[in-house]
Structure 1
Amino acid sequence: MLDQQKITILYYRLSNEDALDGKSNSIQNQKEFLTRYAAEHGYTNLKILVDDGYTGTNFDRPGVQEGFALVKQGLVGCWLVKDLSRFGRDYLTVGQYTDIIFPSYDVHFIAVNDGVDSERGDSDGFAAIRNLFNEWYPRDTSKKVRVVFRQKGTSGKHLGKPPYGYRTDPADKDHWIIDEDAAPVVKRIFDLAIDGKGPEQIARILEQDKVLTTKALYAKQSENHPDPKKRKKMPERPYHWIAQSVAGILERMEYTGCTCNFKTYSKS
């Protein structure tokens, strides 16, 4: 007899990397698979939680966090996932939840395709090994992506978005071209600096002459974008330049014609 007073969570997750595998891991496929499994095994008090576009290498995901909150309130009786990799790809954290936290709250955890059932145990004894492989996959992907970026950056191609004054060439996303709306402002800022004006003085001159700030110009340029989601909101003070923005423009080496890559680094 199933305790239908408690919630059965059907959890789906899909990251950008997983999407490359095709339809097998799609949200729709996971939904159909787990809904059918729940119906066949008598689970009726269902709650669907979805993290679409979130990596499994950490648990900072809104769907899974909502589920954990319900678990800690003692409201969850069962947690269903298609396989362990959908739950997470950090084998230490996955093991902590499946082997310690879920049992302490009397939560029945099932990873259907992997044959993992906390009430019956690991059917083939390979759950721990699967967790290691699930973590190895994003690590290997990360290394490959970093190699590609390193090769692209050292070849002289730009990494990241172009600074104010430039825009991406529609014919070649790796090439920058002059933004005719912003370039005169950049040139004027440098001319004023050469004349002895400081960043604060330059900012006040631009504001007095009603020159659109960086954000305001981008908002104006996006007004007629066919996709409403990509239209930016005009700031409340479209002409209010600050000294920090002016100094940032004067300090950028890209305005000298250099290609500057690898200025920041994030540990994998």
Structure 2
Amino acid sequence: MAVSPPKRLRCAVYTRKSTEEGLDQAFNSLDAQREACAAYVMSQRHEGWTLLPDSYDDGGFTGGNMERPGLQQLLADVRASRVDVVVVYKVDRLTRSLADFAKIVEVLDNAGVSFVSVTQAFNTTNSMGRLTLNVLLSFAQFEREVIAERIRDKVAASKARGMWMGGPLPLGYKAEDRKLMVVPDEAGTVREIMRRYLAAPNIMDLLDELRRDGIVSKKLKLRDGSIRGGIPFRRGALHHLLSNRIYVGETVHKDKVYPGQHEAIIDRELFDAVQAKLAGRTNTPLAPGARRRVSLLAGLIRDEQGRPMSPVHTFNHGWRYSYYASNLGDGSKEAALRLPAGELDQAVRAELVAFLTDVHRIRDVAIDQSPDDQVNLVASFAVLASNIESMAIGELRHLLQRIELTVIVSRDNAAAQFDLPALTAWVGLEIDHPQPFALPLSTTTVAWGHEARLRLDPPAGKKVEADPNLVQLIARGFAARDELLAMSPEQAAAMPVTTFRHTERIARLAYLAPDIIRAILDGHQPRRVTARYLSRLGALPLSWTAQREMLGFAAARPSVFNF
């Protein structure tokens, strides 16, 4: 009997390396991984294995999350049924997170795709193989966490010895053999800035003086030959310079100060005088529990007219409602803006945590740093993010004051910005970023009676509870439709006109697109789609596409449901 040839299995090789170091070599780690995987696929030709020509490589990406272009492309091809077997050199090349691995396995299982590790033999089609894989991934995740701890411990120990751990060079110094050496001309500029600050009324006047006299930030030549710096100081960068303890021969790690191994360029008396003036111009941070209620953004938020927005509250039926409202004490004729304090406080906290855990955005702002500095920054920001999620309001407020966070609210949107060097200094690292760093706050404008109100959208990925009033309205819509369809013409004519029109208007909601109804049941509708809004719609188009555009579901993907 003729033996049928084995089924052809398309094999995709995935490779990853955590840092970019060595990737410019002719034969790097990614090439070595791919060569080993290709050889393994070649050894399975008798089973019908065929190597796909596509490359799924992620050079310089951590295995701690799934935000990797190569991995996302691989999963997209798996969902599109273009891959039968995923081949990696080791399991930890695919991921170092158990939670992410569960998501990846779900995608592979749904597509019927197998998973193979060249150096670790196991079969994921049985329970023992899955147990083995989970154990290996547990060790991979443990190894990643241990590496992060070692890096943090190494930075702390080196700082305690007074060593400079890299980062942007401060004005007045140059780096030689990873040590700070004084640049006489720049050191004179630093002393001049310090003396001018003591004579100036405030930092803003000093900024104007420096800009007028052409005194700019440190100019650096990057590895690619481009020039960075050499621009007028901004408030955050100038404040960082004035408070930088490096200039008195010290090094700082978090809240601890150590004698540095470099030479001081500012005498202690001048530096202490500058710090005393800075402290006198800064609001004293509120201690947690100093008073019964602490407003997170008090003093940090203003409206588009430049008016401070103060915390206010009202009581209704025994409930306390807190807001940030424009201060009209300046005689402005513009109407006051008001935004729920709880929503805004939570939005700022959530978006700050989202930035601190976004490896891509961190790499973008630290693109000129060495790979080691980038790894240090990612690890330190991850620790800070976990702390922020559990910080008391007073403690978080202290951090926001230190990084000079500012929130500006207009009638159409809300935006926040902060000083990035101050944030990196908080975790004991240094980075040069002269421009204020933008922190997006997603908002929606909704109609409320005759007034347009600004609402904050929930952070991306946050679970939102369904609106019970809106769900009940949809249910009433189906009931009204069934009632009208069951009526005879005589019964419909006998109904009061107002009652018939109300029933007819509610019944239209039964003809919403299925994906819109599903989104409402899941609580994923746009913020402006409320029970009040839907019940007052004058007309609802029958076209599902027009419905999505009218209600803000234009980006939704239509799907079919049975009702």
Matched, 1:11 2:14: yes
Q: Retained in 2: the 8 A contact 1:57–1:88?
A: yes
In 2, Cα distance between the equivalents of 1:124 and 1:153?
43
Aligned partner letter, 1:203: L
Q: Deviations over 1:163-201 (max 9, x none)?
A: 222222x14x2x322223422221221121122243222
CA apart distance, 1:12? 0.8
CA apart distance, 1:211? 2.9
Residue of structure 2 aligned with 1:233, choices 215, 227, 230: 227
**Greater RCO, CA 8 A, separation 6+:** 1
In 1, Cα distance between the equivalents of 2:231 and 2:381?
34
CA apart distance, 1:81? 0.9
SS in 2 for 1:54: coil
CA apart distance, 1:78? 2.3
Query: How many pairs does the alignment contain?
Result: 245
Report the counterpart of residue 35 of structure 1 in structure 2: 38
In 1, Cα distance between the equivalents of 2:215 and 2:199?
19
Q: Deviations over 1:91-133 (max 9, x none)?
A: 23224322x2211122222223222344577669622221212
CA-atom RMSD in angstroms? 3.2
In 1, Cα distance between the equivalents of 2:54 and 2:231?
49
In the alignment, structure 2 segments of 5+ residues that lack a partner are 1-5, 23-27, 256-376, 384-563
Report the counterpart of residue 63 of structure 2 in structure 1: 56
Residue of structure 1 aligned with 2:156, choices 150, 166, 171: 150
Q: Retained in 2: the 8 A contact 1:13–1:52?
A: yes
Residue of structure 2 aligned with 1:165, choices 172, 176, 182: 172
SS in 2 for 1:114: coil
The TM-score with structure 2 as length reference comes to: 0.39
SS in 1 for 2:207: helix
Residue of structure 2 aligned with 1:205, choices 201, 206, 209: 209
The more displaced of 122-131 and 183-192 is 122-131
Residue of structure 2 aligned with 1:251, choices 239, 243, 248: 243
Shift in CA distance, 247/120, structure 1 to aligned 2, threshold 3 Å: closer
CA apart distance, 1:11? 0.4
In 1, Cα distance between the equivalents of 2:101 and 2:117?
12
Q: Retained in 1: the 8 A contact 2:163–2:251?
A: yes
In 2, Cα distance between the equivalents of 1:9 and 1:163?
47
Q: Larger radius of gyration, structure 1 or 2? A: 2
Q: Retained in 1: the 8 A contact 2:58–2:71?
A: yes
SS in 2 for 1:71: helix
Shift in CA distance, 125/254, structure 1 to aligned 2, threshold 3 Å: closer
In 1, Cα distance between the equivalents of 2:231 and 2:208?
10
CA apart distance, 1:90? 1.2
Shift in CA distance, 234/142, structure 1 to aligned 2, threshold 3 Å: closer
Report the counterpart of residue 22 of structure 1 in structure 2: none
Task: Give the % identical residues.
Answer: 18
Shift in CA distance, 15/167, structure 1 to aligned 2, threshold 3 Å: same
In 2, Cα distance between the equivalents of 1:17 and 1:208?
42
Shift in CA distance, 211/149, structure 1 to aligned 2, threshold 3 Å: closer
Q: Retained in 2: the 8 A contact 1:199–1:244?
A: no
The TM-score with structure 1 as length reference comes to: 0.76
Residue of structure 1 aligned with 2:110, choices 96, 104, 112: 104
